Structure 1
């Protein structure tokens, strides 16, 4: 069975604060062990004047003798801050 090259997700959030948010994103397996992804967070379906929070990123995994090491990077735009976010992660799977 072939693995899919694209994985997509959508999420709806309803809270007691009477906010309704939608989030969505997708991940594409561009090469073996290399994944590109992007998404949008905080889409307020009750107030489209509120800025959304787009993000882009990638993951790379490499098999070693003891397991798999993965590197993750994401860039997220912060609409209410003078600085955007750079998120870096390292995964080690034994």
Structure 2
């Protein structure tokens, strides 16, 4: 049998106010709630930085088409600025299309 709101609401608000009062009276709790997340974000941001000079738009990708039956997929990728696709340089990712999977 569910209780009506008049029986549990005063208990809930009393517990909430008690916990808020205790939290804001404790300076260490305030430090952990506000200063520590800022400090941790600062430390992680300084440790990892901006991630280098590689932009998301220009990540070199090598595609190996071992299937040779459906070259349409690789032609679509290579048609997007094909000159850069054929230039050899630093390759950061490789996609291999095995035989029969294209």
Superposition TM-score tier, normalisation by shorter sequence? under 0.3
Q: Considering Cα pairs closer than 8 Å and 6+ residues apart, tell me whether 1 or 2 has the greater RCO.
A: 2
Specify the structure having the higher radius of gyration (Cα): 2
Higher strand share: 1
- Give the TM-score, by structure 1 length: 0.19
